[in-house]
Amino acid sequence: MTSTFTIGGDLEVNRLGYGAMQLPGPGVWGESRDPEGALAVLRRAVELGVTLIDTADAYGPFIADQLIKEALHPYAANLVIATKVGFTRQGPGQWTAVGRPEYLRQQTELSLRHLGLEQIDLMQLHRIDHKIPLSDQIGELALLRQEGKLRHIGLSEVTVDEIEAACEFAPISSVQNRYNLTLRTSEQVLDHCTANTIAFIPYSPLAKGTLLTDNARVARTAQEHGATRSQIALAWLLKRSPVTLPIPGTASIPHLEDNLKAENITLTDAQFTALTA
C-alpha cells in the first residue's frame, strides 16, 4: 500500500489526513466547546505525520479555519490545507448551496484571510448550485486559480457526469464524496477517480460510528489484527484504491491517535474481499 498520493501532480500528501468538521460547536455551528482541546488535536495531528487537513468556510462558519491558523500558522512546508466553498449556513445543521460567482470569490478571499494563506492548495466546490450554470461556478474558481489564489480545484458530492462536465472548464484534482465500508453509492465515482488519478477524499469514513457497532466482519477482522474497528474501516478505504485519502475527524487526541494507526494495518486480499462483501 502506497502511503502517499500526489494531488494534482504536485502536492504530495500522506494518504491518511484529518477532517476539521468536528472542531466547531454542535451542528458544525459556532465556537468550539473546547478551543484549547481543538488546538491540541490539530497540533498532535501534524506531529503524527498528517500532511492533509480538510476544512471549509462553512465549518462554524470559519471557526475551523481560525483554529487551524491559530494552531499551525506559520504552516510547515509539506502541510496541505484543503478547503471548500459554496455552502451558506443559517444555523446548526443547516446548509444551503450558493454558487454565484461573486459569492465564491468573496468566500475564497475570506478563506485566504482566515487561514492566513496567500494561496489555497486545494479549493473544492462544496456543492454544485443547480440554480447557477456550472460554467459560472467552475469558471470563477478557474479565474481565481489564474490569479494565483488557488492551486488546484476539486468538487464535492458529485456524479461522474458532473466531474466530466466540470473538466470542460478547469482541471479537477479531487473529489470529496461520502463513502465508507457501509455506504458505497459513489463506487462509480471512485472508479472514475482511480482511472484518472484524481484524489478521492471520502468524508464520513467511519459512517458516524454505525459500522463499528453493527458490522460483525469488521469486528472479526479487528480481532485478527489486534486492532480497533475504526482502524479496520480506515485500512479498508486505503486498500480500496490508491487514490483514496480518508479524512477521519475528531476532537479527541486518543481517537486521533487510534485512527492514524490504521496506516500500519495491511489487510489481506481475503480480508478485504470479506469486508467488501
**Catalytic residue annotation:** 59
Query: What is the distance between the alpha carbons of residues 95 and 140, in angstroms, rounded to a whole number?
Result: 21
| DSSP class per residue in the chain | --SEEEETTTEEEESS-EE-TTSSSGGGBSS-S-HHHHHHHHHHHHHTT--EEE--TTTBTTHHHHHHHHHHPSPPTT-EEEEEE-EE-SSTT--EE---HHHHHHHHHHHHHHHT-SSEEEEEESS--TTS-HHHHHHHHHHHHHTTSEEEEEEES--HHHHHHHTTTS---EEE-B--SS--TTHHHHHHHHHHT-EE--BSTTGGGHHHHH-HHHHHHHHHHT--HHHHHHHHHHHH-TTB------S-HHHHHHHHGGGG----HHHHHHHH-
